[in-house]
Amino acid sequence: MSEQKRDAAIRLTMMPRDTNAHGTVFGGVVLSYIDVAGAVGAVRHTKHDRFVTVAMKEVIFHEPVFMGDLVSFYVETIKVGNTSITVHVVVEAERFGNQMQKVIVTEAEVVYVAINQFREKVKIGGE
């Protein structure tokens, strides 16, 4: 992902409620934000407004996320099918109190399927 075209789908600061007893953010919290960020990317790319998550093909935790980190979730579309879209999500943490130190902490590949208001699978861009 090139530096100049990166636009975070989500950016937030991790708070004490997100952490375990060791002071690191729960993996499940990061996964839930990956899911949301990927869906934002799917909507941005296709202009379709309803998706459901069908798979997280691969999730790699490279580094821990700490309380106070400013965490950015960047998305890149990998593949668009008739009814599905695959999005790669890169999670980057800017360490609190150590400005300019940015670390890629997690990445994942997520697959979404387009649905209509009745929760039926539809072609992307169609109803």
Residue 50 has pLDDT above 70, yes or no: yes
Mean pLDDT for 45-53 is: 94
For residues 103 and 55, give the distance between their C-alpha atoms in angstroms, rounded to a whole number.
Answer: 25
Predicted confidence band of residue 35 (pLDDT cuts 50, 70, 90): very high
Query: What is the structure's pLDDT at 23?
Result: 87
Query: What is the structure's pLDDT at 127?
Result: 53
CB-based contacts of 20, cutoff 8 Å, min separation 6: 26
Domain boundaries, the chain: 10-114
CATH value of 10-114 in 3.30.1490.70, 3.40.190.10, 3.10.129.10, 2.40.10.10: 3.10.129.10
Mean pLDDT for 25-38 is: 96
Indicate the SS3 state at residue 39: helix
